[in-house]
Homo-oligomer: A and B are copies of this chain.
Amino acid sequence: MPKREWDRAFAYFKKKMTSSRQAIMEVFEEEKKHLSAEEVYDSLKGKNQKVGIATVYRNLDLLTQMGILHRVYFGDGLEHYEITRKPIHHHHLVCNKCGSVIDYSELIEESEFISKLEQELNTRYNFKIESHQMYFYGLCKKCR
């Protein structure tokens, strides 16, 4: 929604604000899901705002580098993207049978624990942690 914010972000990264990029972000805002490149492409086509598939890939990549999107992988052979929701990070429950995905926001103690863990790992391995992802695999309500 806040197109203003994107303008600022694109300016900061010295990138141009194009109608393709705007249209792609609108898809994510409307669908509020984890979308693959192909899904974004199809959604745009359906809205008569066709954008080339190569441009979709390019911009999903760019938006991920800019931190506006996040790339996630659920083990089904293709990448998915979602809007970065701040300040609350979230993790994923992936059903091994039907492939459905549940988002859940980190619990407070969880965020705290992971912060401490990251500090520990940082010193122990001299590794500067910038982000993390956690996936739980199992059986969802319908499939268990």
**How big is chain A's contact interface, by range?**
20 to 34
Q: How many copies does the complex hold?
A: 2
**8 Å CB contact of A129 from B75, B129, B133, B138:** B138
Tell me the residues in window 126-144 of chain A with beta carbons closer than 8 Å to chain B beta carbons.
126-141, 144
Identify which of residues 103-137 in chain A touch chain B, using a CB-to-CB cut-off of 8 Å. 104, 107, 110, 113, 117-118, 120-121, 124-137
Residue of B102, B110, B124, B126 near A127 (CB, 8 A) is: B102
Cβ A137 vs Cβ B144 within 8 A: no
Interfacial residues, chain A to chain B (CB-CB below 8 A): 71, 73, 75, 93, 95-96, 102, 104, 107, 110, 113, 117-118, 120-121, 124-141, 144
Chain B residue, CB-CB nearest to A134: B134
Contact in complex: A93, B130 (CB < 8 Å): no
